[in-house]
Structure 1
Amino acid sequence: MTTLEAAADAARDNLTALESEAIHIFREVAGEFDRPVILFSGGKDSTLLLHLAIKAFWPAPVPFPLLHVDTGHNFEEVIDFRDRVVEKYGLRLVVAHVQDWIDDGRLTERPDGTRNPLQTQPLLDTITEHKFDAVFGGGRRDEERARAKERIFSLRNAFGQWEPRRQRPELWNLYNGRHRPGEHVRVFPLSNWTEADVWNYIAREEVDLPSIYYAHQRKVYRRDGMWLTEGPWGGPREDETVEELTVRYRTVGDGSCTGAVESTASTVEDVIAEVQASRLTERGATRADDRLSEAAMEDRKREGYF
């Protein structure tokens, strides 16, 4: 066996182990909790979560609903993809519209126009309203420092907040889902995956994704070192010039703070090669909301955002 063949076998074994771990976590939650839900935005990580959930319970349907906190500033291609997936698999989708919280005064629009930080309250209110006791998220430890120290089962108190001293050890893949009434557990089956793992698995399983993950022509303008695009969240300022470039998105979220990267990667294989050459995680490269302060994501985790 050549060195390249050995490396390919090792990569396949790694993906199989990661898949097995994630499927085990889904089944563990199904056995331990009464009302789980999967956070689903239509992005690559939540789409991968759903794919793994389908495999975990096939041929039975996925026994959990999906929950999307819709900022109203999402990319149209992603929302269209979300709705197609829900219809294709006959899933139940719960949508919490941030606009509803703004309209009734529970939230106030931010001066900078970004709504990503406004997702926390709608998320917590919806978890409480539906009495969800386990919430699957697509967070990975390689994305950002605040996520790197998360457990796979992350206990949240009755206010939805993360308390470091109450997190449990997870030795030998034993997960403790015990919680008091009103508390819930965030569950991260992709914790041990990297961005490269995600894309290699997408290639292996031929997982469909929104088109904006691949290279396309788009009118963009430069702000804070990122290529942003015009949308319902606003557009360029007077001193910002619009250009038409070939770009793609490494991550998707609120369009006001999610940047594109210049890229000609039009296939999964092209994206994999690009990701392997990158020195920045997708969030570090293209998410302005993570740059609000040194501890932006840590603060939002404590508040209950992820």
Structure 2
Amino acid sequence: MTTTSTSTVTSASNSSALTQLQRLEAESMHIFRETASEGERPVLLFSGGKDSVVMLHLAAKAFWPCPIPFPVLHVDTGHNFPEVLDFRNRTAERLKVRLEVASVQDYIDDGRLSERPDGTRNPLQTVPLLDAITDGRHDVVYGGARRDEEKARAKERIISLRDEFGQWNPRDQRPELWSLYNTRHRPGEHVRVFPLSNWTELDIWRYIAAENIELPPLYYAHERDVILRDGMLLAVGEYVTPREGEDIERRTVRYRTVGDMSCTGAVESPAANAEDVLAEVATSTLTERGATRADDRMSEAAMEDRKREGYF
């Protein structure tokens, strides 16, 4: 197994002494190797958010010294943070992976999708995602979901079978015993694979700190103009403007998760590096999605409904 100067992995002969973080890394790398060897046209969903960044880092380590043997796919809503898009492009270039982009804006422009009354585009990602999977004939699709994020994601196995319509049936899941992963599927179906299923937000940040992984700068404390709406601090900009009674404030904030600018809230924080964030997350009682994602507040079953339709 390959190591770097900041690697968290020890030799196989010392596997009994692996820490929890090292075991998680080894499990994720094993999942990548096993499933990539069984797939014909795998693809990794990459948004530039911390989970997809860690997932791509693990893939690079899993296949080193060979290049990552599959492209990355981003479903671009058109409402992304500019810092994240810049990071996405630089990362794909640095790792020499092919970047595929499915554009929600293209679907709106040609009439295949319509803007929502609330202006939020995150729920519009499903159709472009499924079309990109079909057009690319991708049979194994890697996602960065973790079980601790949200109740619907806690139900999902590491290997998630999707039918010919990209839909997920929570009652149609396969046993995963002895680290054996079944990626078999009928023509037209595909599997989603979640190498970070057993990680927590704290694990992610511990790994980022240990591996010195670069992230988009909005994950760390910075000053930004925000408004308080529905209990969340939303960044003022092209996609979010103050409503009557809302005041623009300049605050020191950071983001715990990355989504659309129109539905992703910031948190007030002085955390300027990974170690600071670690200390902050360790004392938090709210998940990052529950605290900062308006699209997950639409209903108690918002995420599960979207997953049934083919969402990440």
TM-score range, shorter chain: over 0.9
1: CA distance between counterparts of 2:199 and 2:171?
Answer: 25
The Cα of 1:12 is off from its aligned counterpart by 6.8
1:163-193 CA distances to partner (integer Å, 9 max, x unpaired)? 1232101111111111000100000000000
- Retained in 2: the 8 A contact 1:73–1:231? no
The Cα of 1:231 is off from its aligned counterpart by 2.6
The Cα of 1:210 is off from its aligned counterpart by 0.4
Q: Tell whether 2:85 aligns with 1:46.
A: no
Which residue identity is paired with 1:195?
E
* Matches for 1:152-301 after TM superposition, within 5 Å: 152-301=158-307
2: CA distance between counterparts of 1:54 and 1:274?
Answer: 28
Alpha-carbon distance change, 115 to 136 in structure 1, aligned in 2, over 3 angstroms: same
SS in structure 2 at match of 1:189: coil
SS in structure 2 at match of 1:265: coil
1:114-147 CA distances to partner (integer Å, 9 max, x unpaired)? 0000000000011001100010000000000000
Q: How many residues align?
A: 297
Residue aligning to 2:74: 68
The Cα of 1:197 is off from its aligned counterpart by 0.2
1:228-285 CA distances to partner (integer Å, 9 max, x unpaired)? 0123323111211000000000000111000000000001111000000100000000
User: Runs ≥4 in structure 1, deviation > 4 angstroms?
Assistant: none
- TM-score (normalizing by structure 2): 0.94
Which residue identity is paired with 1:211?
P
Q: Tell whether 2:95 aligns with 1:80.
A: no
SS in structure 2 at match of 1:171: coil
1: CA distance between counterparts of 2:220 and 2:243?
Answer: 27
- Retained in 2: the 8 A contact 1:141–1:149? yes
CA RMSD of aligned residues (A): 1.2
Structure with the larger helix share: 1
Which residue identity is paired with 1:228?
L
Alpha-carbon distance change, 29 to 171 in structure 1, aligned in 2, over 3 angstroms: same
Identity across aligned pairs (percent)?
Answer: 71
Which residue identity is paired with 2:273?
T
Structure 2: which 5+ runs fail to align?
Answer: 1-15
Residue aligning to 1:5: none
Q: Tell whether 2:40 aligns with 1:34.
A: yes
* Matches for 1:84-95 after TM superposition, within 5 Å: 84-95=90-101
2: CA distance between counterparts of 1:231 and 1:30?
Answer: 40
2: CA distance between counterparts of 1:164 and 1:285?
Answer: 25
- Retained in 2: the 8 A contact 1:114–1:233? no
2: CA distance between counterparts of 1:33 and 1:165?
Answer: 24
Residue aligning to 1:127: 133
2: CA distance between counterparts of 1:232 and 1:12?
Answer: 48
Which residue identity is paired with 1:232?
E
2: CA distance between counterparts of 1:77 and 1:11?
Answer: 39
2: CA distance between counterparts of 1:232 and 1:136?
Answer: 31
1: CA distance between counterparts of 2:112 and 2:258?
Answer: 25
Q: Tell whether 2:103 aligns with 1:97.
A: yes
The Cα of 1:11 is off from its aligned counterpart by 11
Aligned match for 2:23, one of 17, 28, 32: 17
- Retained in 1: the 8 A contact 2:36–2:140? no
- TM-score (normalizing by structure 1): 0.95
